[in-house]
Amino acid sequence: MKASSTGLPDVSFSLTDGSSVATAPPLIASAGVVSAGLSSPPVTTLALNGIATVFGDKFAPPDTARQVGKADLVNGAIPTSLAGACVIFGTQLAPILGVYPGQINLQVPQVPAGQVLLQVVTQCGTAQAEVSNTQMVIVQAAAPEFFYFVHNSNGKNPIAAINATTKENVDGPGLISGSTFTPAKPGDLLTLFATGFGATAPAFDPGVLPGGAAQVTAPVSIMFGGIKLAAPDILYVGVTQKAGLYQVNLRVPAGISDGDQSVTITIGGISSPVGAFITVKK
């Protein structure tokens, strides 16, 4: 492997006639690093320990669709290399959650807040390693974002949520063919899934699977359909048992109107994207 005039490695292999053909290194798309909720417009500032997605090309062989599994864990933690790919934030390797030819899902490692250079490496740890272009990203303490059942072009998306009592998916009927959805109603207890909530107590290092509850340490406020939730209606804001995945347990406020009601969460003064909603029907 040698450096090319672009500063990227020039990896080649020999043919039987002695000539060689250069293979293209992985490529991170322009503005291709975003928070994994995939809001529209995207959340481009990442949170420590949050889940992020890198879009690009040549991250893995065609038809690769590899998600981290129990057998991939290293000393019980998410690996920093999966399907031959790794991602470097400055000098820190990120825990890898999924690898596809044009996409890598990862957990943001513990790096100093601020700007950091990110690169993708394929055939990581081998003599044939190929390094991508660099992408500058901003990492901060929190960058809250909900996950969604579907993504709509207008940016108004149904939050991935379940009724904590019935375990039913929460939204209007028929949202996804073959799945059952039921609107929320006042007084229901819901669990909403998200990422980017930041530090918790107790703390968990990137890649570590939380073994129990751990609440977010920064101040939290929630607006639901224009109503600011009272503290007793916010039951839990913290980690799940999956690395980088957070949840909100809340009570649907009394007096809320029927319809698609916007929900935003603010953590440490930073708010989640507008457009996220829960469907309510009395």
Q: Identify the CATH number of the domain defined by range 2-140.
A: 2.60.40.10
Better pLDDT: 166 or 4: 166
The full set of domain ranges for the chain reads: 2-140, 145-280
pLDDT confidence of residue 277: 98
Express each pLDDT in 110-145 by its tens digit. Answer: 999 999 999 999 999 999 999 999 999 999 999 999
Taking the CA atoms of the chain, what radius of gyration do you get in angstroms? 21
Confidence label for 24 from pLDDT (cuts 50, 70 and 90): confident
Contacts of 6 (CB under 8 A, 6+ apart): none
Give the residue among 248, 146, 141 at the shortest CA–CA distance from 195: 146
- Give 233-256 pLDDT, tens digit per residue: 999 999 999 999 999 999 999 999
Cβ 116 vs Cβ 137: under 8 Å: yes
In this structure, what token pair is assigned to residue 116? 């950091």
With the CA atoms of 239, 241, 242 and 246 taken in that order, what torsion angle do they form, in degrees rounded to the nearest 10? -20
Q: Which residues pair with 194 in a beta bridge?
A: 146, 246
H helix or E strand, kind and range, residue 10: strand 9-14
Q: Can you read off the two tokens belonging to residue 212?
A: 């129990």
- In this prediction, residue 8 has a pLDDT band, given cuts at 50, 70 and 90, of very low
CB 144 within 8 A of CB 267: yes
Q: What is the pTM of this model?
A: 0.90
Tell me: the pLDDT tens digits for 206-231?
999 999 999 999 999 999 999 999 99
pLDDT confidence tier of residue 92, bands split at 50, 70 and 90: very high
Phi-psi map region of 102: left, alpha, beta (phi>0 left; psi -120 to 50 alpha): alpha
* The predicted structure's pLDDT at residue 280: 98
pLDDT at 6 over 50: no
Contact assessment for residue 159 and residue 222, using Cβ atoms and an 8 Å cutoff: no
Residue with tokens 């020999």: 14
